[in-house]
Amino acid sequence: MAATQSPFEPLRLDHRLRDAGLFIQQAFQTFRATGAIAPSGTALSTALTRFVTQRDDPTAPINILEAGSGTGPVSRAIAAHMREGDTLDMVEANPRFTRHLEEMVKTDPVFSNASDRTTVHTALVNDLGTDRRFDTIISGLPFANFTADEVRTILDYYFTVLRPGGRLSFFGYLYTKEIKAVIAPREQYLRQAQSSWVVEEWVNRYGIGTDRILLNLPPAWIFHLRKPLD
Ligand SMILES: C[S@@+](CC[C@H](N)C(=O)[O-])C[C@H]1O[C@@H](n2cnc3c(N)ncnc32)[C@H](O)[C@@H]1O
């Protein structure tokens, strides 16, 4: 099957500033859900698409789910690597971001070959339903801001809608636990420690690799997990 890749041009500086402005404004209003101070950079966005580019069967189209798309830097990297027949579902809880994403899918040249196979959903990811199956899930959700129960519910959901053998890639920022240990109130630090134990439990069980991305604000870890075949 012919690949229909679009060139992954970095965003023009004025668009990057516009997106960063929107992101920072939303981070001020809803920091717990937004969970970062800036959109992911090119190095992190590209590394998160590892299992859009590396496929078990390079001739078979794949279904991709991106959770927590924000202003869309990772979505653009995914779109640049989509091939004929691939589908992308982007789910984002913040309607201010989804309006921006819908416009991006219609007008950004990186989506020119993929816009008719891309859907933007305004929803919490685990409200998306369980009738679809995905080959690759890329999650930008800020697990460090969630409770242990919320993290477990979302990881359970991902492993329900992931097909056997499918991959999940998600990221967290380096040293957040250590920084919170120093600056955050004790109960906030404990909550984050508990949610990070849930993440660790899943990484220990299903992890297949990690990437450390220093060229990002803030620097990040990526965890890649694989759902067992049976
Ligand atoms: C750390 S930002 C990542 C944004 C973007 N992926 C990036 O890398 O720049 C997390 C995003 O997840 C969204 N979000 C948080 N909780 C969510 C949920 N339960 N379901 C869907 N989106 C969620 C936030 O609104 C925010 O846009």
pLDDT truncated to tens, each residue of the chain (230 aa)?
334 455 578 888 999 999 999 999 988 888 888 888 899 999 999 999 999 999 999 999 999 999 999 999 999 999 999 999 999 999 999 999 999 999 999 999 999 999 999 999 999 999 999 999 999 999 999 999 999 999 999 999 999 999 999 999 999 988 777 777 677 777 887 888 899 999 999 999 999 999 999 999 899 999 999 999 97
Beta strands in the chain (DSSP E): 63-67, 87-92, 118-122, 134-139, 162-173, 207-213, 220-226
Q: How many Å apart are CA 164 and CA 150, to the nearest integer?
A: 23
pLDDT recorded at residue 78: 97
Q: How many Å apart are CA 151 and CA 185, to the nearest integer?
A: 21
Q: What strands, in cross-sheet order, belong to the sheet with 134-139?
A: 118-122, 87-92, 63-67, 134-139, 162-173, 220-226, 207-213
- The tokens describing 112, both together, are 């020119």
Q: How many Å apart are CA 78 and CA 49, to the nearest integer?
A: 6
The answer to whether the CB of 192 is under 6 A from ligand 1 is no
* 70 CA to centre of ligand 1 in angstroms: 5
Q: Of all atoms in ligand 1, which is nearest to the CA of residue 66?
A: 6
* 226 CA to centre of ligand 1 in angstroms: 22
pLDDT recorded at residue 227: 98
Q: How many Å apart are CA 34 and CA 49, to the nearest integer?
A: 21
Q: How many Å apart are CA 215 and CA 207, to the nearest integer?
A: 23
Strands 162-173 and 220-226: antiparallel
Domain boundaries, the chain: 13-226
The answer to whether the CB of 120 is under 6 A from ligand 1 is no
Q: Of all atoms in ligand 1, which is nearest to the CA of residue 91?
A: 21
H or E segment to which residue 200 belongs = helix 186-206
Atom 19 (ligand 1) nearest CA: 124
The answer to whether the CB of 33 is under 6 A from ligand 1 is yes
Find all residues with CB under 8 Å of 64, minimum gap 6, and list them.
52, 78, 82, 86, 87, 88, 89, 134, 135, 136, 137, 138
Q: How many Å apart are CA 221 and CA 212, to the nearest integer?
A: 5
- Torsion angle (degrees, nearest 10) of CA 48, 101, 227, 5: -60
Contact of 94 with 30, CB cutoff 8 Å: yes
In the numeric block, the tokens 């075949």 are attached to 229
Phi, psi of 145 (to 5 degrees): -95, 0
**DSSP symbol at 146:** S
| CATH architecture observed for domain 13-226 | 3-Layer(aba) Sandwich (3.40)
Of 94, 64, 40, which Cα lies nearest the Cα of 219? 40
